[in-house]
Structure 1
């Protein structure tokens, strides 16, 4: 009998049976006893941990896809890094995709076959965090620091990196600044917005609320959204910071169509250093995120969590570097 078949007899999800098998909290005493009795009744073959200590899973969660799928290789580079590191360390990695059905996905995973789990948290919102509490094996959330929620997590140091980006623009003599802000919510974007406003105030930069443009974080929609602002004849600052490179590149295309010269009229700085940043015209100045390092560190931390139950609620932020290209230049006014 498989775990899924036994779960059906018990009238629970496979993940609930996994919780009982792994002696985890989250199942009431009566239901736990019922499941244990069924395990005994059907002589359920409980797999020994040693048989699965090299099996890991990567759960790619997609809520709307605008950040996970549209940011031109950012997530895939992290996933490729994890896959390569797993091969190097002798782990078997399975990948599962959950499209806006996280609860159902978690209920149907047979966790007894895996010793650890990576959860892509880029598009996770706070309302979904509690669903992760039912995961009965060690796991680490990637690309979301999960504030206020106890778990292992790794992400980039958004606040510090935005601070460095604005300091760089200020050092080039820019006084007025605009914000190309994502219209889609994410924890990373929230942290960048917080740092943008605080840093602009700290540096004495002139930030007018009218210069905050909400753009959808896809190449096509950021371009169209920026054109809608330009059609209204809005005034522009002498530089922009964008929530990510995808937004910056779409906005630059719209600005060029309206005869703005980049960077002579407006400097633009992005965030992430995706592949398109270097080949864009002009090439995009940006904050480079060490994507391969995130993947490498995620595996190391998951391994430690598997080996040591006290390795828990470890939150890691990884910093990045400024990449100066042709979309920014010293202010001439």
Structure 2
């Protein structure tokens, strides 16, 4: 007998059997007792982790992490945001005694999914920050339990752990209103990913609800990297010399920091002439000049929730949920 055979006899997933064997949290008391009875009935005595013969245990304790990159601007260049999520997932797997295998898909999501041998894994976590909407349906080709991270993948019936973009943007604009700002510019990303779509929707709806004026003349489409946003905004400011409102919201911190550099080089004082607020709280935000007011979302919580949610699905394939993680406002000196 092995874990997969026991799981079939018990009517549960291999992950649930593994959880019982290793005496970890993640299954109900009734499931735990049921699995133990099946093991006793079939005289199954598993090898302990760390013993010489641990082949069967290792084969059923593997989780696959797929990191999808379309262009890498957000997965690689967002200054530690994504890597912190990955570190948290790895730490949670290690704490729960699961092996984590990582593979990378470089703009070949469909080909990568169809080339994976899923038989070695109990479940899968997909980093879908840069995943295009037209590829969402490919997720349904994954034959094992899976959780999507950093993308809400609307309209697809799957479990996700993502950012509460709507609520966090509202919180940022509410703070601007509280300091007396009545008009706001929008430094938005020129890349169409789900996070930015949700932030843009919230920006305009929240502005309407809060009574904050936001003219289309004050919307600037910028590359969502430090260097890209700096070059794009500086070029626009030098060419058109627009009259800017007293405050600006940026889709992420990379855009905000690049924009601040461009604003200062063409003669604006931040925050005296224009305040800037960002989103993500990347490490550079605390040391830029001036330090950036921003929204912080816990990368550690996103990572932990992803693993915990995956284990629940392994126990019950119908246990699907879309979790959104709230953030907190980090007040520094870029908003007057």
TM-score (norm 1): 0.83
* Structure 1 ranges of 4+ moved more than 2 A: 48-53
Instruction: For 1:67-216, list aligned pairs within 5 A.
Output: 67-216=74-223
CA distance in 2, matches of 1:258, 1:201: 30
Structure 2 counterpart SS, 1:57: strand
Give 2:334's aligned residue.
327
| Unmatched 5+ stretches in structure 1 | 1-21, 23-47
Q: Secondary structure at the match of 1:254?
A: helix
Q: Does 1:254 align with 2:287?
A: no
Out of 287, 290, 293, which is 2:301 matched to?
293
Cα separation, 1, equivalents of 2:295 and 2:117: 39
Instruction: State whether structure 2 residue 283 is matched by structure 1 residue 282.
Output: no
Counterpart for residue 11 of structure 1: none
* Cα distance in structure 1, aligned partners of 2:216 and 2:82: 31
Deviates more, 1:225-234 or 1:161-170: 225-234
Residues 15-94 of structure 1 aligned to structure 2 (within 5 Å):
52-94=59-101
Structure 2 CA distance for aligned equivalents of residues 125 and 223 of structure 1: 25
Q: 1:237 & 1:248 partners in 2: Cα distance?
A: 15
Contact conserved, 2:64 with 2:121, CA < 8 A, in 1? yes
- Distance in 1 of aligned mates of 2:231 and 2:318: 49
Give the secondary structure class of the aligned counterpart of 1:296: helix
How far is the alpha carbon of 1:106 from its aligned partner?
1.0
Q: Any stretches of 5+ residues in structure 2 without a counterpart? A: 1-13, 15-54
CA contact (8 A) 2:58 2:99 kept: no
Contact persistence 1:49–1:115 (CA under 8 A): no
Matched residue count:
282
For the residue of structure 2 that corresponds to 1:59, the secondary structure is strand
State whether residues 238 and 266 of structure 1, in contact with CA within 8 Å, keep that contact through their aligned partners in structure 2.
Answer: yes
Give the distance between the partners of 2:56 and 2:167, measured in 1 at CA: 41
Query: Pick from 226, 232, 253: which aligns with 2:233?
Result: 226
SS of equivalent to 1:241: strand
**CA–CA separation in structure 2 for the residues paired with 1:309 and 1:287:** 34
